[in-house]
């Protein structure tokens, strides 16, 4: 298990190398030596004295005189301070937060010896680096690329090389980390080509610190998994896994099971294919299955992991909005059977859930809308403020990264509910709002050979059940849902979502499908979660069949789609 992260400073925690290189260039030119700024990116990680000696050896065939070397470095430091380049690196705080949340010790390993810069680290990243958890130029006799700085970092953390990672942005720093026997991550925060880091045998190479912060949870899970396997569908295998392997080459070495994309392939045949892949490749009870994809992959993969050898670890790497906010969390796993949605499954919590934010930018609009429906559901049952914000759908379609805070809010809500009620004995039933009707619509479409995305069906199910909430006078209801609040949702659904493909004459079939819903306690009643008000759900509600049918007719009137 990874217990420590040994972290460089300039170019990793601070976007400072552009200022350091300018200061080096100015100092050298004032001393009659022509050089480029890019040259000093290559020397990053070396001590100042070693950098000056290297250039003196090249220019004059000898090291610099010690007294002059000290004076030159002091002058370079004055230039740097005058420039004032000490900007925290975008993404560094998220990286450090992930490490700290996982209980990983952080050790600063820098070639700098400037007290002012070390003080800045304590000020800008308070509490991250504990007492004694810094290695500076004053702590070593040899700087990078010698492994001594990182070996000293291991000593301070009290860990072995295979229990640590190094986070660097310079080829010489990567060389030092690799020489110390530590998996070393290269973050390209300067102009140095990727090949330079490949030549130094970096374990992973990331185009920015923000990208590395996004990838870090997956990186840690991959390293910690002793016997990993991958499940992906035909879309995510090429569009996601292969792209991730460009940054994390280790992914390309892992045995991979690829199943056809689409919820109609979430079936017993695909399940058997996953089991066979695990069995034929020697998976044991200590193995971990990484399910990389949307809800179909995590549902199927979670079920496969829960049942293979009576249960192996499963890590869900969610690549769709729907997966991020719903399917990947909560521990529900299942496959479809004979056209019935999620007919066979178990509760089995994943060991971890990882979100890949960059995939939001690559999702087709129908996939985004599918996940958006689950976010609307979560807002309707738990957060009126989020619901009002999400009704402005144009805003989020135009800039999908704006969804990230609400995605985290959805995960927070669902995690809280499922932690309090993991087996759906009570409160967890509120998460089913919109799903009794939505699953019926989805199963109907599947039976007719016109599969409908889960979230699209749920969007229509939400309106149907909002209407039902406004008319169903079940004994024990706290109140009826205000009918005036139906219209904004109906207008949004009608404008942005495709039609559900159901007609008034289909109501008998839809009601019959609802009677197969797993939430029903008897064949004579259909169980719903209904809303009294936005943020006030009530579960175990069994309206009459007449009310269900009336609500369907009103739903059709509001949308004009049936």
Cα dist from 98 to 42, 88, 101, 214, whole Å: 29, 17, 5, 10
Report the DSSP pairing between strands 332-337 and 340-347: antiparallel
Q: Considering its fold, how many domains does the chain have in total? A: 4
319/384 same-domain check: no
Residue 521: give its domain's CATH number: 1.20.1090.10
Burial of residue 437 (CB within 10 Å: 0-12, 13-18, 19+) is buried
Q: What is the DSSP string of 224-283?
A: H-SSEEEEEEHHHIIIIIHHHHHH-GGGGGS-EEEE-SSGGG-SHHHHHHHHHHHHHTT-
204/317 same-domain check: no
Q: What is the pLDDT of residue 117?
A: 72
- In a domain, residue 221? The reply is no
Q: What is the pLDDT of residue 500?
A: 94
Residue 275 structure tokens: 């089991």
Boundary residue ending a domain (67, 83, 99) = 83
In tens, the pLDDT along 157-213 reads 999 999 999 999 999 999 999 999 999 999 998 888 899 999 999 999 999 999 999
What's the pTM value of the predicted model, to 2 decimals?
Answer: 0.79
70/207 same-domain check: no
What is the C-alpha to C-alpha distance for residues 229 and 251, in angstroms, rounded to an integer? 9
Residue 399 structure tokens: 């800039």
**With a cut of 50, which residues of the chain have pLDDT below it?**
none
Boundary residue ending a domain (325, 343, 359) = 359
Q: What is the pLDDT of residue 85?
A: 66
540/395 same-domain check: yes
Domain assignment of residue 57, given as a range: 17-83
Q: What is the pLDDT of residue 339?
A: 77
29/56 same-domain check: yes
**Residues near 193 by Cβ (< 8 Å), separated by ≥ 6?**
none
325/185 same-domain check: no
What is the C-alpha to C-alpha distance for residues 324 and 326, in angstroms, rounded to an integer? 6
Residue 32: give its domain's CATH number: 1.10.150.240
Contact assessment for residue 197 and residue 166, using Cβ atoms and an 8 Å cutoff: no
What is the C-alpha to C-alpha distance for residues 443 and 490, in angstroms, rounded to an integer? 22
- In a domain, residue 270? The reply is yes
Give 403's DSSP letter.
Answer: G
Q: What is the pLDDT of residue 115?
A: 74
What is the C-alpha to C-alpha distance for residues 20 and 33, in angstroms, rounded to an integer? 17
476/495 same-domain check: yes
63/115 same-domain check: no
- In a domain, residue 185? The reply is yes
- In a domain, residue 204? The reply is yes
| Pick from 158, 93, 169, 164: nearest CA to 124 | 93
121/70 same-domain check: no
For residue 313, the cross-strand partners are 288
377/522 same-domain check: yes
- DSSP alpha helices (H): ranges in 383-426? 384-390, 393-398, 404-420
Q: Kindly report the CA angle at 112 between 212 and 29, in degrees rounded to 5?
A: 105
**Residues near 344 by Cβ (< 8 Å), separated by ≥ 6?**
303, 334, 335, 337
Q: What is the pLDDT of residue 81?
A: 80
Q: Angle 48-60/66-83 helices, nearest 10 degrees? A: 120
Boundary residue ending a domain (83, 117, 137) = 83
């Amino acid at each position: 298990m990874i217990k420590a992260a040994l972290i460089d400073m300039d170019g990793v925690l601070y976007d400072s190398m552009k200022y350091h290189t300018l200061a080096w260039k100015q100092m050298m030119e004032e001393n009659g030596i022509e050089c480029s700024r890019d040259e000093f990116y290559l020397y990053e990680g070396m001590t100042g004295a070693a950098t000056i000696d290297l250039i003196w050896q090249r220019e004059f065939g000898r090291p610099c005189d010690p007294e002059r070397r000290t004076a030159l470095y002091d002058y370079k430091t004055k230039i740097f301070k005058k420039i004032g380049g000490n900007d925290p690196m975008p993404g560094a705080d998220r990286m450090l937060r992930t490490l700290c949340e996982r209980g990983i010790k952080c050790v600063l390993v820098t070639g700098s010896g400037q007290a002012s810069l070390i003080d800045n680290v304590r000020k800008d990243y308070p509490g991250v680096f504990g007492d004694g958890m810094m290695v500076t130029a004053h702590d070593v006799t040899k700087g990078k690329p010698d492994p001594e700085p990182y070996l000293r970092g291991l000593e301070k953390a009290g860990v072995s090389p295979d229990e640590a990672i190094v986070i660097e942005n310079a080829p010489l720093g990567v060389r030092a980390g690799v020489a110390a026997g530590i998996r070393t991550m290269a973050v390209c925060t300067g102009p140095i080509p990727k090949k330079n880091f490949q030549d130094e045998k970096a374990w992973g190479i990331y185009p920015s610190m923000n990208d590395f912060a996004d990838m870090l949870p997956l990186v840690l899970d991959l390293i910690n998994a002793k016997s990993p396997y991958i499940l992906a569908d035909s879309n995510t295998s090429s569009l996601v896994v292969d792209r991730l392997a460009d940054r994390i080459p280790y992914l390309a070495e892992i045995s991979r099971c690829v199943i056809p994309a689409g919820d109609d392939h979430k079936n017993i045949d695909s399940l058997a294919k996953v089991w066979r892949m695990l069995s034929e490749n020697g998976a044991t009870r200590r193995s971990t299955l990484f399910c990389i994809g949307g809800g179909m992959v995590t549902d199927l993969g979670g079920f496969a992991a829960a049942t293979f050898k009576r249960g192996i670890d499963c890590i869900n790497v969610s690549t769709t909005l729907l997966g991020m906010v719903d399917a990947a969390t909560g521990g529900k796993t299942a496959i479809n059977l004979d056209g019935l949605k999620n007919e066979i499954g178990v509760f089995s919590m994943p060991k971890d859930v990882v979100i890949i934010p960059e995939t939001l930018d690559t999702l087709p609009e129908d996939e985004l809308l599918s996940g958006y429906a689950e976010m609307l559901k979560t807002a309707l049952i738990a957060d009126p403020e989020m619901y009002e914000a999400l009704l402005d759908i144009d805003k989020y379609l135009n800039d999908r990264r704006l969804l990230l805070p609400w995605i985290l809010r959805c995960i927070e809500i669902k995690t809280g509910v499922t932690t309090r009620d993991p087996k759906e004995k009570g409160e967890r039933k509120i998460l089913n709002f919109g799903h009794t009707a939505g699953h019926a619509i989805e199963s109907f479409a599947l039976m007719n050979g016109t599969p409908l995305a889960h979230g699209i069906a749920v969007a229509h199910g939400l309106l149907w059940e909002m209407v039902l909430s406004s008319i169903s006078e079940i004994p024990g209801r706290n109140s009826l849902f205000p009918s005036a609040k139906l219209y904004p949702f109906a207008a949004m659904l009608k404008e942005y979502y495709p039609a559900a493909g159901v007609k008034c004459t289909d109501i008998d079939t839809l009601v019959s499908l609802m009677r197969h819903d797993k939430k029903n306690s008897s064949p004579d009643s259909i169980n719903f979660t209904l809303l009294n008000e936005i943020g006030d759900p009530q579960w175990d509600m069994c309206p009459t069949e007449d009310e269900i049918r009336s609500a369907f007719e009103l739903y059709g009137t509001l949308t004009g789609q049936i």
